[in-house]
Amino acid sequence: MQLVNGLHFNNIRGDIYGGLTAAVVALPLAMAMGVASGVGPIAGLYGAIFVGFFAALLGGTPAQVSGPTGPMTVVMAAIFVQYTSMFPDDPGQGAAIAFTVVVLGGLFQILFGVLRIGKYIELVPHPVVSGFMSGIGVIIILLQIGPLMGQEAISQPLAAAKAVPGFVSHIEYHSFELGMAVLAMVYGIPLLLPKLNRLIPAPLFALVAGTLFYVLYMEYHVPVIGDIPSGFPSLHLPVIDTSLLLTMVASGLTLAGLGAIDSLLTSLVADNVTRTQHKPDRELIGQGIGNSIAGLFGGLPGAGATMRTVVNVKAGGRTPISGALHALVLLAIVLGAGPLASEIPKAVLAGILIKVGTDIIDWDYLKRVAVAPKAGVLIMFTVLIITVTIDLLLAVGIGMVMASFLFMKRMTDMQISNISAMKHSDAATPLSGEENTILDEANGKIMLFHLSGPMSFSSAKAMVRRHANIADYQVMLLDLTSVPAIDFTSARAIEDIIVDTKSAGREIFLVGACTAVCDMLEKQKILRHFNTGHMYQSRLDALLHAQSIVNESP
């Protein structure tokens, strides 16, 4: 197995340019994510460095660039507030526990990869993903309204929404004007000046231009980031409070689950752009290692970042070299340029983050709401609302349950439609001419109970009800020729049909059961109900036997 997945040196120029470009895009976003989390901009940069470096070298998606993302930042903000509020007299203790949770989340991600859970992320249906991502976008926008207007950020989305009237009545116009100018740049430059956007990505241009304008020309003070530590981060050993252990594990699982979904969805995007196939379990292990190390050095948790990954690929990046180089460039910036960022206005970062939030919202799905399946639309908006108002992973869980029930309903309808009970020839069932003749000549005394497709627990009741509604026959053929598999519940339903038929004094034949079906019936001791010579592979042979019984009866 290759030590670094997808590593080669045939694209070194493209990888260098992709890594440099991704770093330029990541710089303002990582700082903005750090501020939004409440931990500080340096934590965002540390997260981009450690997660970006180790996920690139040890992950399973060669062209992916990782770092703090909107969803992970929103969860980390909630975790940071949760644990620091538990220790009002010693917030440092709460912060240490919060970063220990980041380490735990990384370890859980490694476990997910070892257990090969990665492939199951692809089973999350699009309405669930759409509602979840759109909810994250709404949360980011709500949390940045305060800083955009020169006010302190509020960590809870509903509280931030309720505080909007207060923000408006106490608006700090200089911050607001600066933030609106940044919004105009991040939205306008890609549309009006695409060549400039290719040379200098709009978020970076807005960050530099907004900060320079404030430092050089504005005569009024607005809230700024403040002092940023420089130099290599120091190692912080995990701190575990035994009284909070279960809470910490739950928080770690939340980060791990969210990071897994976020990263592997971005991996699918990278696959589509590069026409490659990622290795999901290896990607989870790489992300987990990166997050664990980030937690040890006070960095934000991260995941595969869609915007940075696409920028990297479009700039020519194709191997892990580009992702690792992006992290090393950010490290160089942290080691030498930390003090230069202390005068960045919070309103500038708020404008950049609001653009990130609007980009995360699934506008494509929202445009299709009128023509999309109504059940999918219901799932999407349910997940969106729960994401914003209650909890992110709870929203995904409820969305998956709703989608699963919807899928079961569709499968059940298909299975029920494949259950037919006939006493005369029927074009819907593939019988030969001789088989149709035998059935018609029996004058309703032979009943063919035909099942088709895999049968599961969801259709078991319907199977028994359909059989109970048929009367006045002498011999029944339980035709399983077209059934490739059955489960325990449908096997017991078949046994009920057999027992009811025999209790009524009628004959029953088992026809065409494949090896898998026979094995299940044998394990459940159902085959013992059949008399010798009442099990056939050929439907015609069973019909001929049934015909002889009917002809011999008075």
Asked whether residue 455 is domain-assigned, the answer is yes
Asked whether residue 123 is domain-assigned, the answer is yes
Q: 425 and 343: one domain? A: no
pLDDT of residue 56: 94
Decide: 294 and 87 in contact? Cβ < 8 Å: no
pLDDT of residue 416: 83
pLDDT of residue 328: 93
Asked whether residue 443 is domain-assigned, the answer is yes
DSSP state of 233: P
Q: 352 and 428: one domain? A: no
Q: How far apart are CA 473 and CA 451, in angstroms?
A: 18
Q: 316 and 425: one domain? A: no
Q: 348 and 427: one domain? A: no
Q: Domain range spanning residue 234?
A: 14-358
Q: 352 and 424: one domain? A: no
Q: 97 and 221: one domain? A: yes
pLDDT of residue 429: 64
Among residues 307, 340, 358, the one where a domain terminates is: 358
Asked whether residue 407 is domain-assigned, the answer is no
DSSP state of 486: B
Q: How many helices (H) and strands (E) does the chain have?
A: 23, 7
CB atoms within 10 A of CB 245: 11
Q: 131 and 31: one domain? A: yes
Q: 246 and 339: one domain? A: yes
pLDDT of residue 65: 94
Q: 217 and 149: one domain? A: yes
Number of structural domains the chain divides into: 2
Q: Is 450 left (phi over 0), alpha (psi -120 to 50) or beta?
A: beta
pLDDT of residue 196: 85
Q: 65 and 190: one domain? A: yes
439: domain CATH number is 3.30.750.24
pLDDT in tens, the chain (554 residues): 568 888 888 888 888 888 887 887 788 788 888 888 888 888 999 999 999 999 999 999 999 999 998 888 888 988 998 999 998 888 889 999 999 999 999 999 999 999 998 878 777 788 888 888 788 788 888 988 998 998 887 878 888 899 999 999 988 898 999 999 999 999 999 899 888 887 787 888 888 899 899 888 877 788 887 766 677 888 888 988 888 999 999 999 989 988 998 898 888 778 877 888 889 999 999 999 999 999 999 999 999 987 788 778 877 889 999 999 999 988 988 887 666 667 888 898 889 888 878 887 889 889 999 998 899 999 999 999 998 888 777 888 899 899 988 888 888 888 888 888 888 877 666 778 888 888 888 888 988 888 888 888 888 888 888 888 887 889 999 989 889 999 999 999 999 998 988 888 888 999 988 999 999 998 989 888 887 788 988 888 888 898 888 888 76
pLDDT of residue 554: 64
Q: 445 and 542: one domain? A: yes
Q: 266 and 196: one domain? A: yes
Q: How far apart are CA 341 and CA 42, in angstroms?
A: 10
Q: How far separated are the first and last CA of the chain, in Å rounded?
A: 74
Asked whether residue 393 is domain-assigned, the answer is no
Asked whether residue 382 is domain-assigned, the answer is no
Asked whether residue 413 is domain-assigned, the answer is no
CB atoms within 10 A of CB 154: 20
Sorted by sequence, the CB contacts under 8 Å of residue 346 that are 6+ apart come out as 35, 147, 153, 175, 222, 223, 224, 225
Global pTM value: 0.74
Asked whether residue 147 is domain-assigned, the answer is yes
